[in-house]
Chains A and B, each alone.
Chain A
Amino acid sequence: MRPQEGRPQAALELVVEARRLTKNYQRNQVLRGVDLTVSRGSFLVLLGPSGSGKTTLLRCIAGTERLTSGTLSIGGREVAGPTSHLAPEKRQLSMVFQDYALWPHMTAAANVAFALRRLSVGHSERRRRALEMLERVGLGHLAEQYPTRLSGGQQQRVALARALVAGMPLLLCDEPLSSLDAHLREQIRVEIATLARDSGTTVIYITHDQQEAFALADQLAVIDQGRICQSASPEEVYWHPADPFVAQFTGVTGELRGVAVGPVRERLCRVRASTAELVATVVEQPLPGTAVSLLLRPESLSICSSERTDGILYGMVKDCAFHAGAYDHVVETAEGAQLVGVRSSARAGRGANVVIAVDPAGCLAFPLSSSPEPVADLTEVAQDEAPEPLPVAPPSPPPALDRHR
């Protein structure tokens, strides 16, 4: 995968616009000035760890929580502001909940039909449309079953049908897959993506699972401590994360400390990390001598032959596991960093010395916040910042890759 440009936002009609949203629970500030725009028909995924404020943000959009300050518009209409709060039932949206939230005393069909009451359609028409929607999610034969008789996956399909049946322009999804078994997640994820996109609904979907987020998103917003850290296309977020948190949360395999040497070209910088010299991707070119943190994406690392001398790290294999047709290695580098998930089609045994090639696209450099000023003596800084090197000998002759378990 290589960096791609996201779709131009201005070309798309705005559906949801949040400006400086804050939400306090007594003294605890959960949202701290969130700015967010979501275009019509797009699939926005809010990705963040537990406690980052993503559920609160979703509930503020739904109207089940009141904002402390800021304004929120849906479809050009202000639904929440300093003095206004539109009730959830008047916001023209629907929602899929983490724990389904199906009403247990209603059948699957009645649960789905309930969402059509707001359209003022007759009972028989509601039922017809509910059954049709249940057919679309593959549950037509279970329409008269009560939720307690359905499996987790079936319940979530009913919840999805309920959310889509009324054709509301905005669909909110509150970690809808997190209560499901692993084998069901993929299946329901595809159904959500397909059905939502087929119906042209705008979706705001929250999750803490980065794989799920990248698989679904047109637009990805990473949230932490009540702030949106970055909102862009998934590709942009992955290859050009705005800050170390975004990089960390979207998947890194290891971290090194180093010192910026100088620019290679736009967004690329040469970095010295103890014994190695690597080319890294940067958001802004750091001044030479700036101490940096190097975050390594798993795809950027591969075990290579010892003949290569540029853009490599030396390391020793600590562990190896067979996974999805190849081998994931845990490697401790000469710089003392531990790299997890270094893939190779061949197995390197424990204790083997290896050479790891580092692709600049997945080697992300961020200035260390603790030492913002450039340092004159690069060698000294590199030694100070870098952990104690391990007694790893350069691999000569080439490492014997063990192809047998």
Chain B
Amino acid sequence: MSAARPLGRPTRLHRGLSSTAPGLLLGAVLLLTLGLPVGLFLVVAVSPRLFSQGTSWLTGAGFVGAIRGGALPGLVNSMSVSAVAACGSLAVGLALAWFTSRSTLWGRRLWPLLVWAVLLAPSYLIALGWEQLLANHGSFWEMGLRLPWLSSLFFGPVGVVFIYILKGVPFAYLATSLAMSALGGEFEDAARIHGAGRWGAWRVLLPMIAPAIWSALAVVFAETISDFGVAYTLAASSKFQLATYTLFGAVDNFPSQFPVAAAVGWLLILAVGIALVLQSRALRGRLYGSLSGRTRAPSRVSLRPFGQAAGLALVAGYFLLSLGVPALGAVAGSLLKPATRGFAIAGLTLGYYQALLHDGAPLTPLAYSAEIAAVVATLVGLVAVPVAMYLTRSQGGLASKAVDLLLLGTVALPGIVLGAGYIFVYNLPELNAIGIRLYGTTALLGMAYFAGALPTAARVLVGPVAQVDRSPVVAARVHGSGALGSIRHALVPVVSRSVLWAWILTFTGVMFELPVSQLLYPPGSPTLSVAITRALGLDFYGPGTAMSVVSVAFALLVVTTVLLLYRWLTPRGWRQVGLTR
């Protein structure tokens, strides 16, 4: 009797293909949407002739041109502003994290929600809100409150750093608050019981959260140096050049100087890369497993009235500056009649809002951006889950390492470099010759949004997907579910909430996205961010700010509706996942 091979047992070839095929497919998608546009764009810096952008096959002229053409001050400005912003954001973020996770500060459940609001708010809207208040003929000026010294201070490096500190705090907070909450109370108790005082105990604890501190510094630095929103608005109007604006100018001016833009792209990526490498070196061997192990929840420091007041002043003050003042600036700008002298009810008008709703045309960019954002967010939500599954299930393989590296690299890739890559590659005559004519279309804009959002969404989902990898899915299979049934019963409930948040992050991110939109919006169809910045750039303060207010209200409405729908439509058990007692 010959031994029968078990049914369905895969052959080596089958196993090889089944493990490689998803990686290849994913690799192809990432190559087309990310690798190719960015890679080819960067190559043009050293080989302009390859794409008919110059006469040399291999040259450093792009870098020389970039430095002589004024890119160096922009880069120096960007690096110094980012370094200062990283330190400032860390100080505020660390204090915020301590107050919300280790003290009895009032409203400590509200503050983390507001942190997310600042995180989702585009940097250019925060900057423009402040500009509305402090500019000559801005809202303060119109109301008779003239502060020239404050205006001159704000429209310059100080104002730019200030906005970047406000915008960087959520990154610093998210990086450090987790470590601070995970730092079990017994470490502090052990230090105090063995002789250290309250401050002495913190001297022991600080090195334990050093990895989080380094991460916060690196992330804020990378986010700040990659930012285009403030560079395009406040910094540009203050004549304070930043590297991302230099790159934009090289692409946007006629004739485009792609080799110079690519050289600046290289330098930006290099700066971000150095920050991340330094972070990685600082973290080496210092990710303490015990921090996330079986640890007792830390006790909260009971704040006395003075401590409460100081804490509230810091925390509420931060949110007032980062959300309240910009919102006030936008609302005030949208309600004040031009040339109002002093604050009076008579000086207020709803005319800008009436014009928006009556005409409808100014709302077209909002509808256009919302539509693309919804489609892209849904696509990203659908694709990010298998990508996250691939990353968690094939760790160690060469293909998965390559995909992981590409995704990690793209998270830190400045949006302006991605946009420049798309504009360069999809405008190449060679692509037109083979029938790929995407330049200037909504499809290309959507592709770029997708490429920019996918890495972050996949990173967000890796954690939840890893939770179900694999026992609950296997348990569902063992207890009678098919392949699809096991995904429906074991995977979807666990990852649904994270997919929802990935959707919200992508939707709001795409809706207000600026750098890619500015470079790739189809002629005649400006996106929301382009329309807002253009209106405010042309000194149409009233219509521009009214559009900002309506857009933010619309985005909040969508987010609230989606969250409520999730609450109403999903089984109760889905919403218990991840909750603690």
Chain A residues close to B by CB (< 8 Å): 59, 62-65, 87-89, 91, 93-95, 97-105, 114-115, 117-118, 147-148, 162-163, 166, 172, 179
| B290 in complex: contacting residue of A63, A65, A104, CB < 8 Å | A104
Report the tally of A-B residue pairs with Cβ distances under 8 A: 88
| B289 interface residue per 8 A CB criterion | yes
Return B199 CB to nearest CB of chain A, in Å: 11
Given the complex, which residues of B lie within 8 Å of A172, measured CB to CB? Answer: 193
Interface centre among B190, B191, B196 (most CB of A within 10 A): B190
Q: Can you list 22 A-B contacts with CB-CB less than 8 angstroms, sorted by A residue number?
A: A63-B193, A64-B192, A87-B197, A89-B196, A89-B197, A97-B186, A98-B186, A99-B184, A99-B186, A99-B290, A101-B186, A103-B204, A104-B290, A105-B210, A114-B194, A114-B196, A117-B196, A118-B194, A147-B290, A148-B288, A163-B194, A179-B294
| B295 interface residue per 8 A CB criterion | yes
State in angstroms the CA–CA spacing of A62 and B204 once bound together: 19
State in angstroms the CA–CA spacing of A166 and B198 once bound together: 20
Given the complex, which residues of A lie within 8 Å of B192, measured CB to CB? Answer: 63-64, 87-89
State in angstroms the CA–CA spacing of A134 and B75 once bound together: 54
Enumerate B190-222 residues with CB–CB distance to A below 8 Å: 190-198, 200, 204, 207-208, 210
Closest 6 CB pairs of A and B: A118-B195, A104-B288, A101-B186, A101-B190, A115-B194, A88-B192
Given contacts A88-B189, A101-B189, A102-B190, 5 further A-B contacts (CB under 8 A): A87-B197, A89-B192, A95-B194, A114-B196, A117-B195
| B111 interface residue per 8 A CB criterion | no
| B299 interface residue per 8 A CB criterion | yes
Interface centre among A94, A104, A163 (most CB of B within 10 A): A104
Q: Do residues B290 and A162 form an inter-chain contact, with CB atoms below 8 A?
A: no
Given the complex, which residues of B lie within 8 Å of A118, measured CB to CB? Answer: 194-195
Q: Do residues B190 and A103 form an inter-chain contact, with CB atoms below 8 A?
A: yes
- Chain A residue nearest to B208 in the complex (CB): A105
Q: Do residues B208 and A95 form an inter-chain contact, with CB atoms below 8 A?
A: no
| B16 interface residue per 8 A CB criterion | no
State in angstroms the CA–CA spacing of A179 and B204 once bound together: 24
| A88 in complex: contacting residue of B193, B208, B290, CB < 8 Å | B193
Return A400 CB to nearest CB of chain B, in Å: 45
Interface centre among A105, A117, A147 (most CB of B within 10 A): A105
Given the complex, which residues of A lie within 8 Å of B208, measured CB to CB? Answer: 103-105
Q: Do residues A64 and B299 form an inter-chain contact, with CB atoms below 8 A?
A: yes
State in angstroms the CA–CA spacing of A168 and B6 once bound together: 67
State in angstroms the CA–CA spacing of A102 and B189 once bound together: 11
Q: Do residues A94 and B290 form an inter-chain contact, with CB atoms below 8 A?
A: no
With A95-B189, A104-B291 known to touch, is A162 a contact of B299 (CB < 8 Å)? no
State in angstroms the CA–CA spacing of A62 and B185 once bound together: 13
Given the complex, which residues of A lie within 8 Å of B353, measured CB to CB? Answer: none
| A99 in complex: contacting residue of B195, B200, B286, B295, CB < 8 Å | B295
Q: Do residues A64 and B288 form an inter-chain contact, with CB atoms below 8 A?
A: no
Given the complex, which residues of A lie within 8 Å of B299, measured CB to CB? Answer: 64-65
Return B297 CB to nearest CB of chain A, in Å: 12
| B574 interface residue per 8 A CB criterion | no
State in angstroms the CA–CA spacing of A104 and B299 once bound together: 20
State in angstroms the CA–CA spacing of A114 and B196 once bound together: 9
| B435 interface residue per 8 A CB criterion | no
Return A370 CB to nearest CB of chain B, in Å: 34
State in angstroms the CA–CA spacing of A65 and B210 once bound together: 27
Interface centre among B192, B210, B293 (most CB of A within 10 A): B192
Given the complex, which residues of A lie within 8 Å of B191, measured CB to CB? Answer: 103, 114
Enumerate B247-299 residues with CB–CB distance to A below 8 Å: 286, 288-291, 293-296, 299
Q: Do residues A99 and B190 form an inter-chain contact, with CB atoms below 8 A?
A: no
Interface SS majority for chain B: helix
- Chain B residue nearest to A104 in the complex (CB): B288
Given the complex, which residues of B lie within 8 Å of A114, measured CB to CB? Answer: 191, 194-196, 204
Given the complex, which residues of B lie within 8 Å of A88, measured CB to CB? Answer: 189, 192-193
Given the complex, which residues of B lie within 8 Å of A65, measured CB to CB? Answer: 299
With A97-B186, A101-B184 known to touch, is A62 a contact of B193 (CB < 8 Å)? yes
Q: Do residues A97 and B289 form an inter-chain contact, with CB atoms below 8 A?
A: no
State in angstroms the CA–CA spacing of A91 and B190 once bound together: 13
Q: Do residues A94 and B193 form an inter-chain contact, with CB atoms below 8 A?
A: yes
Return B204 CB to nearest CB of chain A, in Å: 6
Return B107 CB to nearest CB of chain A, in Å: 18
- Chain A residue nearest to B200 in the complex (CB): A89
Q: Do residues B195 and A166 form an inter-chain contact, with CB atoms below 8 A?
A: yes
State in angstroms the CA–CA spacing of A101 and B291 once bound together: 10
| A97 in complex: contacting residue of B190, B207, B288, B291, CB < 8 Å | B190
| B187 interface residue per 8 A CB criterion | yes
Q: Do residues A166 and B290 form an inter-chain contact, with CB atoms below 8 A?
A: no
Given the complex, which residues of B lie within 8 Å of A166, measured CB to CB? Answer: 194-195
- Chain B residue nearest to A163 in the complex (CB): B194
| B193 in complex: contacting residue of A89, A99, A179, CB < 8 Å | A89
Q: Do residues A105 and B193 form an inter-chain contact, with CB atoms below 8 A?
A: no
Given the complex, which residues of A lie within 8 Å of B286, measured CB to CB? Answer: 105
Return B179 CB to nearest CB of chain A, in Å: 12
| A101 in complex: contacting residue of B187, B200, B289, CB < 8 Å | B187
- Chain B residue nearest to A91 in the complex (CB): B193
State in angstroms the CA–CA spacing of A200 and B174 once bound together: 48
Given the complex, which residues of B lie within 8 Å of A98, measured CB to CB? Answer: 186
Q: Do residues B290 and A62 form an inter-chain contact, with CB atoms below 8 A?
A: no
Given the complex, which residues of B lie within 8 Å of A100, measured CB to CB? Answer: 290
State in angstroms the CA–CA spacing of A105 and B204 once bound together: 9
Q: Do residues B288 and A105 form an inter-chain contact, with CB atoms below 8 A?
A: yes
Given the complex, which residues of A lie within 8 Å of B291, measured CB to CB? Answer: 104
State in angstroms the CA–CA spacing of A115 and B192 once bound together: 10
State in angstroms the CA–CA spacing of A147 and B285 once bound together: 12
Given the complex, which residues of A lie within 8 Å of B295, measured CB to CB? Answer: 99
- Chain A residue nearest to B206 in the complex (CB): A105
Interface centre among B195, B288, B289 (most CB of A within 10 A): B195
- Chain B residue nearest to A148 in the complex (CB): B289
Enumerate B389-424 residues with CB–CB distance to A below 8 Å: none
Given the complex, which residues of A lie within 8 Å of B198, measured CB to CB? Answer: 87
Return A84 CB to nearest CB of chain B, in Å: 16
Given the complex, which residues of B lie within 8 Å of A148, measured CB to CB? Answer: 288-290
State in angstroms the CA–CA spacing of A59 and B185 once bound together: 12
Q: Do residues B194 and A162 form an inter-chain contact, with CB atoms below 8 A?
A: yes
Given the complex, which residues of B lie within 8 Å of A147, measured CB to CB? Answer: 290
State in angstroms the CA–CA spacing of A87 and B193 once bound together: 9
Return B349 CB to nearest CB of chain A, in Å: 51
Return B314 CB to nearest CB of chain A, in Å: 26
- Chain B residue nearest to A162 in the complex (CB): B194
Given the complex, which residues of A lie within 8 Å of B289, measured CB to CB? Answer: 104, 148
State in angstroms the CA–CA spacing of A166 and B193 once bound together: 12
Q: Do residues B190 and A95 form an inter-chain contact, with CB atoms below 8 A?
A: yes
Given the complex, which residues of B lie within 8 Å of A89, measured CB to CB? Answer: 192-197, 200
Given the complex, which residues of A lie within 8 Å of B288, measured CB to CB? Answer: 104-105, 148
State in angstroms the CA–CA spacing of A36 and B150 once bound together: 65
State in angstroms the CA–CA spacing of A108 and B208 once bound together: 15
With A99-B293, A105-B208, A105-B288 known to touch, is A94 a contact of B194 (CB < 8 Å)? yes
Q: Do residues B196 and A64 form an inter-chain contact, with CB atoms below 8 A?
A: no
